[in-house]
């Protein structure tokens, strides 16, 4: 089969807005087909006909449609349930006849029922020999073909070759052009004892079909993988396995996760795995699979899956870097790899552009790079990833204040609970593995008590001592946003593990780091974001006056700081240090914008909006403690660093990815 694929997405009556939201994104992912249900029961419910009169032509306008026609109206059912056989079996064919007349211009194929060996879809207790099913579906398939459409036999779940052969014996296979197979390897316990792999089961199917209808195609009408354990990379790999299984078509279930409030057939929140089968999350945020498909189709998924295949470390004790495919993490990895060290990159690859960084590292260093596509929220995966580490640099995080305000639970799970998972994973080794943690200046809050005054293009503290040296580590912590809370919790846990368990650990509370391998967005990484927008002749939005001040630091200086602290971890353990450009690299947003205009030679279209929650009018890190303790200092001035980043971004290979926002 070519690299063509479809998605399964059930739309409920009245979900007009969701259809309009999902459909363009699904098409943008490269999907050629869409399988959706046409419920016989819902069609005859109030408003049902009007719903399908709108839905089917709307979907078919943008994508090739496969309606799956199932569910008996309870009033017509022998059991009074939608899973029961109709009292008059021919009623199903009559309904299909009406569907073809009214809607048939919108599709070529029509699927007859769904999972007929699943009690929730077909009550086989009332039909133990499948007599009723075969008569109903066989007659309907015959009539669909007579009318010029192509019938598809719904796939059983779990796969059952005996049932399929019975369909051949009863004449049903002779009437269909394709037979479906369902499989969710790695997700459902019910398949664990019977699933033998796509190759085995499709070979069984082919043998049966050749016996009864050699021209019949095999379609994977439903397959998927639940990311309830946050293993997005495994979902991408399972997608490729299904795509490469050799079926004539493959439909992936599903595009979007089920929202928490939606009940599945078994009952509300019956099993959490039901709620994480999508390629995007319930709020529309893309998981790895959707992002890679949209960026480059199956070829992109294959490349990232190849890069993220762990290799056996040649060195017994490699350096482990969480978030090692990210901006600072990839620069840190490069510094160790260039010295001949093995590096384990632990990264869930959730941020757009990081796969480019991973590819860059792999090209340069080959087998010394060991990519582990683990999520910090997966406790067992994290524990395994750091088991042999010589040292851990903890860079992985949810990094945006704005995202934390939209999804505070997810922010906490990644930053706070994820860090605790990592600390426990290190403790479980029984070894004193050094850890350096990337914290943030947001642990100091919005600095609301800091009085500042404005000049023409920058603000400054009225307090002379603060203006001269910056904010020191002695400032009280003040967690004023969910992001500040989650990072602050992690910050304090790292320091506590140093004192409670003797873990050699230190914290660097970072200010604004910028430089090559950064794909900044409006929400995080503002220096790179400004440059990216300017180089692509796009407008820039500034939140606040633009006079707010930061101390910016080139990533090469940040790497040097991490390495200096790690190299002296025994002496520096239990301490937190501010890391930024300091007073020598103090600059306002307006000053950065003017410098970018000088670099690009073009005027920037700037608009201003209100301050965002948690924004600091002025922050400059007092780095004297780090300089004295570790012998480190910032070496690259902000103007030189900005030009270096502009040069890297101007390279076509370094062009930043499109931004993908988490919807509010």
Element (H, E) at 340: none
End-to-end CA distance of the chain: 39
Q: By C-alpha distance, which of 414, 412, 407 is closest to 283?
A: 407
How far CA 503 is from CA of 332, 391, 430, 506, in Å, comes to: 22, 11, 10, 9
Pure H helices in 568-603? 569-572, 589-600
Which residue in 71, 251, 253, 483 is the catalytic one? 483
Instruction: Reply yes or no on whether 501 is catalytic.
Output: no
DSSP class of residue 289? H
Cβ neighbours of residue 590 closer than 8 Å, sequence gap 6 or more:
457, 458, 546, 547
- Please give the torsion angle defined by the CA atoms of residues 595, 598, 602 and 603, in that order, rounded to the nearest 10 degrees: 50
Please list the residues that pair with 577 across neighbouring strands: 508
505 touches 498 (CB < 8 A): yes
Element holding 588 (H helix, E strand): strand 586-588
Cis check: omega of the bond before 374, within 30 degrees of 0: no
Give the residue ranges of DSSP H helices in 437-554: 464-469, 482-500, 526-535
Distance of alpha carbon 12 from alpha carbon 5, whole angstroms: 23
Residue in 560, 563, 544 with CA at minimum distance from that of residue 619: 544
Token digits of residue 579: 């890391």
Phi, psi for residue 169 in degrees, rounded to 5:
-60, -35
**Helices 288-307, 232-243: crossing angle, 10 deg rounding:** 80
Q: Which structure tokens are listed for 283?
A: 């709020």
State how far the Cα of 278 lies from the Cα of 256, in Å rounded to an integer.
4
Nearest-CA neighbor of 290 among 300, 299, 281, 279?
Answer: 279
Sheet containing strand 319-322, edge to edge, reads 369-372, 343-346, 319-322, 391-394, 435-440, 505-510, 576-579
Give me 325's structure tokens.
């495919």
Task: Supply the residues annotated as catalytic.
Answer: 483
């Amino acid at each position: 089969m070519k690299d063509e694929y479809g998605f399964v997405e059930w739309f409920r009556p009245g979900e007009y807005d969701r259809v309009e939201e999902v459909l363009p994104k699904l098409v943008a992912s490269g999907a050629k087909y869409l399988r959706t249900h046409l419920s016989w029961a819902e069609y005859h419910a109030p408003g049902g006909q009007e719903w399908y009169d709108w839905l089917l032509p709307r979907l078919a306008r943008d994508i090739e449609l496969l309606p799956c026609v199932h569910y008996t109206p309870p009033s017509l059912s022998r059991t009074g349930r939608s899973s029961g056989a109709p009292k008059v079996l021919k009623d199903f064919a009559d309904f299909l006849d009406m569907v073809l007349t009214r809607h048939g211009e919108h599709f070529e194929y029509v699927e007859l029922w769904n999972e007929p060996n699943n009690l929730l879809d077909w009550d086989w207790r009332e039909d133990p020999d499948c007599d009723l099913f075969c008569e109903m579906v066989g007659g309907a398939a015959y009539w669909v073909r007579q009318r010029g459409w192509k019938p598809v036999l719904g796939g059983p779940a779990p796969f059952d070759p005996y049932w399929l052969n019975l369909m051949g014996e009863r004449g049903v296979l002779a009437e269909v052009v394709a037979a479906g197979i369902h499989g969710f390897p790695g997700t459902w316990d019910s398949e664990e004892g019977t699933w033998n792999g796509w190759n085995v089961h499709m070979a069984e199917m082919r043998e049966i079909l050749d016996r009864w209808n050699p021209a019949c195609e095999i379609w994977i009408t439903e397959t998927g993988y639940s990311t309830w354990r946050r293993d997005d990379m495994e979902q991408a790999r399972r997608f490729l396995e299904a795509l490469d299984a050799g079926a004539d078509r493959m439909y992936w279930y599903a595009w979007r996760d089920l929202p928490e409030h939606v009940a599945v057939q078994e009952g509300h929140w019956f099993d959490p795995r039901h709620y994480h089968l999508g390629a995007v999350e319930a709020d529309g945020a893309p998981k790895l699979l959707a992002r890679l498909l949209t960026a480059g189709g199956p070829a992109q998924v294959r490349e990232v899956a190849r890069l993220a295949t762990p290799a056996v470390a040649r060195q017994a004790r490699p350096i482990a870097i969480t978030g090692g495919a990210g901006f600072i993490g990839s620069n840190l990895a490069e510094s160790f790899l260039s010295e001949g060290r093995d590096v384990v990159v632990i990264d869930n690859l959730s941020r757009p552009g990081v796969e480019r960084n991973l590819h860059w590292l792999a090209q340069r260093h080959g087998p010394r790079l060991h990519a582990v596509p683990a999520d910090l929220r997966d406790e067992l995966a994290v524990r395994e990833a750091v088991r042999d580490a010589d040292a851990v640099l903890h860079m992985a995080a949810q990094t945006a204040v704005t995202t934390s305000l939209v999804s505070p639970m997810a922010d906490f799970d990644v930053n706070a609970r994820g860090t605790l998972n990592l600390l426990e994973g290190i403790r479980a080794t029984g070894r004193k593995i050094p850890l350096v943690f990337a914290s943030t200046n947001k642990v100091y809050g919005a600095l609301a008590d800091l009085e500042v005054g404005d000049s023409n293009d920058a603000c400054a503290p009225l307090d002379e001592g603060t203006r001269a040296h910056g904010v020191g580590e002695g400032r009280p912590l003040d967690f004023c946003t969910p992001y500040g809370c989650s990072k602050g919790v992690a910050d304090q846990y790292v320091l506590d593990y140093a004192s409670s368990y003797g873990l050699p650990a230190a914290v660097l509370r970072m200010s604004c780091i910028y430089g090559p391998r950064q794909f900044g967005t409006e929400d995080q990484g503002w220096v790179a974001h400004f440059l990216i927008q300017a180089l692509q002749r796009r407008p820039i939005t500034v939140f606040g006056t633009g006079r707010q001040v930061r101390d910016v630091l080139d990533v090469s200086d940040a790497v040097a700081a991490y390495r200096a602290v790690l190299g002296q971890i025994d002496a520096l353990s239990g301490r937190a240090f501010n890391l930024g450009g300091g007073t020598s690299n103090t600059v306002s947003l307006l000053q950065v914008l003017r410098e970018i205009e000088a670099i690009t030679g073009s005027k920037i279209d700037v608009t201003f909006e209100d301050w965002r929650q948690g924004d600091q009018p002025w922050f400059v890190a007092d780095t004297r403690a780090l300089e004295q303790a570790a012998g480190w200092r910032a070496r690259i001035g902000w103007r030189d660093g900005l030009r270096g980043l502009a040069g890297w971004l101007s390279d076509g290979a370094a062009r930043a990815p499109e931004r993908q926002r988490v919807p509010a």
